[in-house]
Amino acid sequence: MDARASLMTLKTVQQLADTGRHTAVVEYLAGLPDQEVATSPTLALLFGSACARLGRDDQAQRWAAVALARARERGDRPVEARALNLSGAIAFDMGRIDDAAQYFTEGLAQAEREDDPATVGRCSNNLGIIASLRGDHGRAVGSYTMALAAFQQAGLHAGVAETLHNLATTYRDQGELEQALQIADRAVHEATEAGDLRLVALTQGGRAEIRLLAGDPAVARREVEHAIAMHRDLGDIVGEAYDLRVLGCVLAQLGDNEAEAERTLRQVVDRAEAFGRPLLAALAARDLAKLFLTKVGREQEASDWASRARTRFIKLGAQAEVRSLDQITATRAG
């Protein structure tokens, strides 16, 4: 491929990635010879990122490793930082939280040296997710604040949207639902401004869960069903699975759809295990435990699902989730 054709390929793939069309990215790059993609650290990075978004972890790891190796060979420090961040994201999805934190920390240091605000934002945002998972909400908010400033400096609506989505989740987990909903509204707006359909679906699904906890399951159902439809149209089966978990919780709270809620949550556990998404599996198992705790004669099932969720949360270092689950089960048992 000559230089002009290579530049056109990179421009096309970048535009697809920027609008959340990750299936199209994979299809486009899969149609090129592997060696052709491997010669460009940026193309390899985009390929790995798209595969990661679609839950294709083996391919994602392969192309992230290629991107990192090529970037280091060429002394391309900005792409190296982005490849470290991608490697961390893949490790996080697979439940290797300590490895993920190491990748993100290295990527952040590299991005700061290169004065690359976009990658500073990505790494800081991801470190915030890990801090939130571990129950360190103060550190999480600090990381998200740093990420927002970096993304705003870079002029990246998508980064701002994703960080606001995660920040809203942290406030949600602390029970500050009014503030969480306000931030979630901003996340949806920024995602829409970015034109990233996958991100619009993600932020809408997150807002739906906040609405559910705030006592508005009917509106939450409409919103999460819209998010599910968007993820299906995009071929984002992992994103769809996360939204289905929220839908299962909504159906459980509505009261007259408990059998459907149970089927949906069991389906999410199955999908999460098939995709290798231990956090999603743990969350859905926790939600099933909560559902069965309210049912006479299903106490043993509640205990079994709570145990499965607890084991997974411990492995992930999600101590806040472990404490919350223990409190719920102890209260219901008492």
Q: What is the pLDDT of residues 147-186, one digit of tens each?
A: 999 999 999 999 999 999 999 999 999 999 999 999 999 9
Does 310 map to a domain?
yes
Rounded to the nearest angstrom, the gap between the alpha carbon of residue 294 and the centroid of all alpha carbons in its chain is 29
Q: Is residue 280 part of a domain?
A: yes
Does the pLDDT value for residue 329 go beyond 90?
no
**Distances from the Cα of 14 to the Cα of 114, 119, 201, 218, 220, angstroms:** 21, 16, 20, 38, 33
- List pLDDT tens digits, range 46-57: 999 999 888 788
142 domain-assigned: no
Tokens 């990192």 label which residue? 68
Distance (Å, whole) CA 67 – CA 79: 8
In a domain, 276, yes or no: yes
State residue 296's pLDDT score.
67
Lowest mean pLDDT among 94-103, 152-161, 310-319, 323-332: 323-332
Full residue range of the structural domain in which residue 311 is found: 246-334
Q: Quick check: is 156 in a domain?
A: no
- 160, 190 Cβ separation under 8 angstroms: yes
Residue 132 to residue 320: CA distance in whole angstroms: 9
The confidence band for 138, taking pLDDT boundaries of 50, 70 and 90, is very high
Residue 261 within a domain: yes
Judge if pTM exceeds 0.95.
no
- Say if 317 falls within a structural domain: yes
Question: Cβ distance 97 to 88 under 8 Å?
Answer: no
The answer to whether position 266 is within a domain reads yes
User: How many structural domains comprise the chain?
Assistant: 1
